[in-house]
Each structure stands twice: as C-alpha cells, then as structure tokens.
Amino acid sequence: MIRSDSPIPLNPVPMSDDQKDCIDKLEQCLEQARLGNVFTIGIIVCMRTGFATTIGGTDAGSLNLGCDALKTRILERVTDEGVKPRGGMSAIIKAGRA
C-alpha cells in the first residue's frame, strides 16, 4: 500500500534499449515534421497486447514505397539472420534526404 505522503512511481520498470530507440525515432520524426519536412506518415506500433497502425497525410505513393522497403527489412531480420544486434541508435532521417 502506498502512503499518501510517499512519491507515486510513474515508471516503476526502467525502459529497455529497444523502447528508448523507439522514443528516439519518434522524436526525430516529430522534429522533422515541425520543420515542415514530413508530408505523410504511416505508424505501426507493436505492444505486448498486439499492434496498432495509423496514417496521416496524402502521399500514398511514397508511403506505399516506404512500406515495401520496411517489409523487406523486416523479412531480412526474420528469415535471414534473426534480430541483428544494434551498434547504437540510428537516425531515422538520413542526411541529405530531408
């Protein structure tokens, strides 16, 4: 039981590196969107209870090509080599492409 004068734990379990990586990528996208560099976005989130998707914007053609590229990367990780260890967080927006 939590006493009324004790602090309420907001996040009792520390975040994993994968969770921190997700937050980093979302922050990068938000920053680019605020700079006016994002016109369409598709989001897939995977949680313990399942997944959710959403789309914003109107450039369906580019979004479809991006999804195809993403599906290729996912398939490589699943079939060829499993989950590859990361050497750190990667930038979601590559230099010169924004």
Each residue's pLDDT expressed in tens, for the chain with a length of 98 residues: 555 676 666 666 788 999 999 999 999 999 999 999 999 999 999 998 999 999 999 999 999 999 999 999 999 988 876 655 555 555 666 655 44
Calpha distance 58→60 (Å, rounded): 6
What's the pLDDT score for residue 98? Answer: 42
Tell me the CB-side half-sphere exposure of residue 42, using CA atoms within 13 A: 14
What's the pLDDT score for residue 57? Answer: 95
What's the pLDDT score for residue 93? Answer: 61
- The terminus-to-terminus CA distance of the chain in angstroms comes to 51
What's the pLDDT score for residue 5? Answer: 72
